[in-house]
Each structure stands twice: as structure tokens, then as C-alpha cells.
Amino acid sequence: MSLPHAILTALLEKPSSGLELTRRFDKSIGYFWSATHQQIYRELGRLEREGAIRALPRQGATRGQKKEYEVLPAGRAELARWTAESQDPKPPRDPLLLRLRAAAVVGTAGIQEDLRRHLALHQRQLAEYEEIERRDFPPEKDAVEDRLRHVVLRAGIDLETFWTQWLTRAIEELREPG
């Protein structure tokens, strides 16, 4: 996934300012695609120059008002093209896995503590995702758009479940005998 496509998706869901996009990235899209405030603003400028989005006309006084953006037909077409194209899965790049591999050759000092810290982080994230699922996806919410959003959330739940189970096993397997 790329940042322009994440921004186009967010803007099609709801025209927004750069600040609003940043907040939305922090709350939803950021769970699977993160971006800084600066990256979002830089990308908004590029998408506007390319004709994919435009700033909405402002009502009344403009000083101090945030620019709100909407997606233009060219942006919608690009997002549709990108959504329909085939992409191969990307191999995971997780520093923790690399650090564990390195610990095999330089020693395991600090690894157990960090594994426990990671486990606590993943347990908190899993609890947060499960709360979002309970709150935002009741059984009667069955439109295709809702099911697609729920499928994305379920991916997060399943990944966090994997990590909590894997970390629990890794901690157990790396426990010092005695």
C-alpha cells in the first residue's frame, strides 16, 4: 500500500483537512498504514498538483481556516486502478525477529524482558481491536462496505492474536532452565 492511496481512501470516505487526516490516521488507517503529519501534508500537495484532489472552496473569511480536500475523478480512477491490480504479499520486516536472530550469535541479554514488553503491547492492541469490533461491528451492520472494514479489522485482530500466542511460546521456550 502507498500513502497516496491511503489518503485517497480517507478523502473518499470523508473530505478532510490535513489535520483531520492526521487524526484519522492516528485512529483508524494508522493501525495498518502510518504516516506523519509532514508526510500527509507533502502528499496532499503532490496529489493536488497531479489533479487527483482539490481544495474545497472556502466559505467566508479564509485566514486561519483549514483547507479541506476532496477527491477528483482522476484520484478516484487511480484508486480504483490500484485496488483492482494484483500485488504479491510483502515479506515481513520486523526488527524483533532480526534481533532474535542476532541474539543467537551475540547472546540473549535483555531479550526476555523485551519479549515480555512486546507481549504486553500486543495484548493491549488486541484488546483495543476487540473493543472496536464490539462497538463498531454489530451483527446487523451488514452492508458490503461495513463487511470490508470489518475484514480489515479482523486482520488486525488475527495478527495480534498470532503475536500474543507466538510471544508467549517464545518467552516459554527461551526461559532459562532451572
The model's confidence at residue 157, banded by pLDDT at 50, 70 and 90, is: very high
- pLDDT exceeds 60 at position 40: yes
- pLDDT exceeds 80 at position 65: no
d(CA 107, CA 165) in angstroms, rounded, equals 24
* pLDDT tens digits for range 102-148: 999 998 888 999 999 999 999 999 999 999 999 999 988 889 989 99
37: which residues sit within 8 A by CB, 6+ positions away? 18, 19, 22
- pLDDT exceeds 60 at position 174: yes
Residue that wins the pLDDT comparison between 26 and 51: 51
How many other CB atoms are there within 10 angstroms of residue 163's CB atom? 19
Q: Which three cell numbers stand for residue 121?
A: 503491547
Q: So what's the pLDDT on residue 141?
A: 84
What pTM did the predictor assign? 0.79
- pLDDT exceeds 60 at position 61: no
* pLDDT tens digits for range 72-94: 999 999 999 999 999 998 888 88
